[in-house]
Amino acid sequence: MRKKLLIALGVLLVVCVGFLGLVALQPSTFSIERSTNVAAPPSVVFAELDDFEAWNAWSPWAKLDPNAKTTMSDPSSGTGARFIWSGNDQVGEGSLTMLQSNPPELVEVEQEFVRPMAGKARMTFHLVPGDGGTRLTWKMDGTNDFIGRAICMFMDMDALVGKNFEKGLAAIKSLAEERAGQPATAPAS
């Protein structure tokens, strides 16, 4: 009986070490990116991104918990602006800090989560003028700690977060095109 128990413990140890090794081999960084074409000038699109007050109109997460407690800095736009939230389990708790606001081409935001899991990421919104409007790209980069790497073995974060980026971009597109007096068109990915 003792021999069987030692064998079982040995097998369990090998499985645990193997799993920990697989987790350690997972990428330590992540990047999620989506783009769309907006039939509005960059200055109109930029206005949707540069002011945290405007984010509630297009943020896919704002709709997940309309009762979330939020606090915004004054001013709520430009470099240094800050947005803090605490909501249900779908939106968690954290803050956004605008690191760069370069009209009308770039907005860079640091996102810091407190719950459900602590973590930081950097989001950038790049606006490039083009024929008939603006090419808008939303990108998020960050690092995965050991727990984040383990979670990513079982969940496709690009697909999960990417769906929300697509919803947000579609809403920004609609708002900006409406403000620019353009008919809303189907989003391009």
Angle between the N-to-C axes of helices 42-50 and 157-179, in degrees from 0 to 180, rounded to the nearest 10: 120
Q: What is the pTM of this model?
A: 0.80
CB 111 within 8 A of CB 140: yes
Domains delineated in the chain: 30-179 (3.30.530.20)
Return the half-sphere exposure (C-beta side, CA atoms, 13 A cut-off) of residue 107.
Answer: 26
Distance CA(160)–CA(164), nearest Å, equals: 7
- Give the DSSP H or E segment for 121: strand 119-130
For the chain, the average pLDDT equals 87
Work out the average pLDDT over 146-167.
77
Highest mean pLDDT: which range of 11-25, 26-40, 98-112, 113-127: 98-112
Q: What is the pLDDT of residue 107?
A: 97
Distance CA(113)–CA(101), nearest Å, equals: 21
What are the CA-CA distances from residue 98 to residues 75, 88, 106, 170 (Å)? 11, 24, 11, 22
The percent of residues above 70 in pLDDT, for the chain, comes to 89
